[in-house]
Copies of this chain bind each other. A is one copy, B any other.
Amino acid sequence: MNNDNLRFQVRQLSLDNDDLMLNETLFHNANGYLGVRSNFEEGYPDGYLSIRGQYINGFYDFAEMKQAEKLYGLVEEKQTMLNVADTQGIKLYINGEEFSMFDGEVVESSRTLDMGRGWSMREVLWRSPEKHEVRITVKRMASFHLLPLFTIEYEVESVNFDGELRLVSTHIGNVQNYFNPNDPRVAGETFQYILPVSAEFVGETSLLVSNTSKSGLQVASAVRHECSKAGQESRFIEDGTAIYEWKTELAPGEKATLVKYTVLSDSIRSASCRDEALKLMERVSAIGLNRLYEEQEKYLTEYWENCAVNIYGDDELSMAVYFNLYQLIQSVGKDAYSNIAAKGLSGEGYEGHYFWDTEMYMMPFFSLTNPEIAKSLIRYRHNILDQARDHARLMGHARGALYPWRTIMGKECSGYFPSGSAQYHINGDIAYAIITYYLLTKDTELMLECGAEILFETARLWLDAGHEHKGKFHIHNVTGPDEYTCLVNNNYYTNVLAQYHLQWASKFYHLLQEQDSGAFSKVIGKIGLTEAEIAAFREAAERMYLPYDEELDINPQDDSFLSKKKWDIAGTPKDKFPLLLHYHPLYLYRHQVCKQPDTVLAHFILEDAQKLSTIRNSFNYYEKITTHDSSLSTCIFSIMASKLGLHDKAYEYFGESSKLDLFNTHKNTKDGIHAANLGGTYMAIVYGFGGLRVKEQGLFIAPALPDLWEGYDFKIRFEDSLIQIVVRRGAFEVLLLKGTTKEIHIYGEKHTLKDRLQVELK
């Protein structure tokens, strides 16, 4: 891999407010447990908007979500991810002149994200109003080695300055979430979710503890400073804020460095988060910054070693892909209390909620490259299974579980059920991801630990949600992934996925029964699953109604989709996109128009359910009526274009997907990265260009090489093996890097992979 492409840099920083907020996201530091937006330590001038936030994955408060009209079962309380503290603040004074990017002269400036070493950096050569020059270098890291840790290394080098250097560092507990009364997509008013409990110094460490307003949770933040040279240090608490001040002298050519360690701890993971934070800070002190940098690089070296997708001959795209994969490891929760929020830990968009995005767009990456993390994501779903059961009851179902459409701690947070709770496919999505994980790992243990229980409980729901009509199993009044059409009957995506889900629930029943009757009986006993139910699963799957239009040879999105008016996308003014911001939902629902093409997605994940002509015709049909207003759309078109041999089209869609955040093409990356699309980019290469499929019959690959590339490679884990696929012009290689001999289907033909295989490129 080309390590240059692991360094993303912006020079001559724009101070335009939108750019500032965008960079807060792009250069944020996160490790799946905590995330810190990349705000300037010294802040912006008054009047500038800034989303200044520091988050813990899965840490939430409850927030009121009143319904305009009260109907039974409508959710009136949501969870929201909290800004838990502000430990970013460091102000710099040279002879009393305060450093600001908006004052004096910024001679040079840059920001760097080093994805190989795991830190971000801001470098500024600043000339003060009094013409004193200093070079400021700020390096930030969210530690992968020690997840509760975030560090800032703040270095000041004098160019021509001789005098007093003063650094004032703040540790603030009394913070709020971002709000903007003028933006309907984020909170419109402020609310004090975090209620400070105590602020103290324990030795050199400042320690703030806060409670949440309603959820009964507690968070502690600890901060400790290390300064590089002698001077005058003071520590005090003022209005609940812990302040550390360091004064020293600086001569031209000389450097002074302040290291600020932040440790976060929360009551979800720790019985006493105050004590835990202190204990962790002691550990941090014992390790020291250099060791932490080394561990960070080590972690990432291994990460890239396992998962990197390398593109030869297109540095820009290559960097965009690395950027996306880097954001995935920054975003993913690594315990059973957290998952991957729609914006990772990079911002407050979607309030830190977890969606189906995880299972359908991000888990494939982890299942293929990092099964331990995939396992943890499954455990999270198991952890909230009880809430999913309650949710099913609320929705009218006497048995089974229905996962919430959006959630943090398991309760539904969707305020508008037609494009929220009505998306029953989430049950199938979770099942699909678990089945794929199993097919890749054959991890029976995890299935017995939690996978099977999820699979059975969610499968049960289909039986009650659907019903038999004229010999076929119908599922009525649900919403598919395409939110431009809601509350439909027999959504193709939902039905074909439910079919697969029900089939596999039955398969697992028999498979696990054979393998391990003890643990299995326990699961079956716990949920009272009967043979009769398994038979009903099978029968419903066999009779599943899948809408098909003979004349067009396509799968209609749902029963009535084809009888609707077609939306005139070409005739719609550009400024009316995304449509959801300009048209009433009812008007959208009345038309054939897709935010994202869920039938095409269904053809990707379950390609054997239809013949190729149907898949091709559907692709062509839905492409014309898809607006891609969802960031989950283009990657799927890219994959399916690859499958259909439309390589130029695949490449084009891939470009749109891969550059979305890094080039801010949707203009809202300031609110956070688009986590699903990150995984989508990966899928567009591995499933798309690489033609990978994971099925009961084994692995399938069918590589193609975009014209503009010299080649690409990726690695995947399969059972006990590590396999690399290296594609170059003309031919590709399949290398067994670790593990035992495997059968692999290449371009539809079975090959035995002992060591390496070289195959001509089709």
Contact = CB atoms under 8 A, between A and B. Distances in A.
Interface of A: 65-76, 184-185, 394-397, 414-418, 420-422, 465, 467, 469-470, 474, 476-477, 486-487, 489, 559-560, 563-565, 580-587, 589-590
A461 to B, nearest CB: 12
Nearest to A558: B560
Given A418-B418, A487-B487, A394 B68 contact: no
A421 B72 contact: no
Given A67-B68, A68-B68, A72-B584, A474 B563 contact: yes
A562 B414 CA distance: 30
B565 A73 contact: no
A80 to B, nearest CB: 13
A415 B67 contact: yes
Contacts of A586: 73, 395-396, 417, 421-422, 477, 487
Contact of A415 (B69, B72, B470, B565): B69
Contacts of A65: 68-69
B563 A489 contact: yes
A471 to B, nearest CB: 12
A565 B474 CA distance: 10
Given A563-B469, A589-B487, A72 B582 contact: yes
B477 A72 contact: no
Contacts of A587: 73, 395-397
Contact of A69 (B420, B560, B581): B420
Tell me the interface secondary structure of chain A in the complex: loop
Listed from nearest, the 4 A-B pairs whose CB atoms lie closest are A68-B415, A396-B587, A73-B584, A69-B415
A396 B65 CA distance: 27
Given A71-B585, A477-B586, 12 more contacts: A66-B66, A70-B184, A72-B583, A72-B585, A73-B586, A394-B584, A395-B587, A417-B585, A421-B586, A470-B563, A476-B565, A487-B589
Give the residue among A397, A476, A586 with the most B Cβ atoms within 10 A.
Answer: A586
A70 B586 CA distance: 14
Given A476-B590, A584-B394, A489 B560 contact: yes
A71 B414 CA distance: 13
Contacts of A467: 564-565
Contacts of A416: 67-69, 71
A165 to B, nearest CB: 48
Contacts of A470: 563
Contacts of A71: 416, 580, 584-585
Nearest to A395: B584
A307 B74 CA distance: 44
A268 to B, nearest CB: 26
A637 B396 CA distance: 29
Given A474-B563, A477-B589, A583 B68 contact: no
Nearest to A67: B68
Contacts of A66: 66, 68
Contacts of A396: 583-584, 586-587
Given A421-B586, A467-B565, A564-B476, A74 B68 contact: yes
Contacts of A420: 69
A595 to B, nearest CB: 13
A72 B580 CA distance: 7
Contacts of A476: 560, 563-565, 589-590
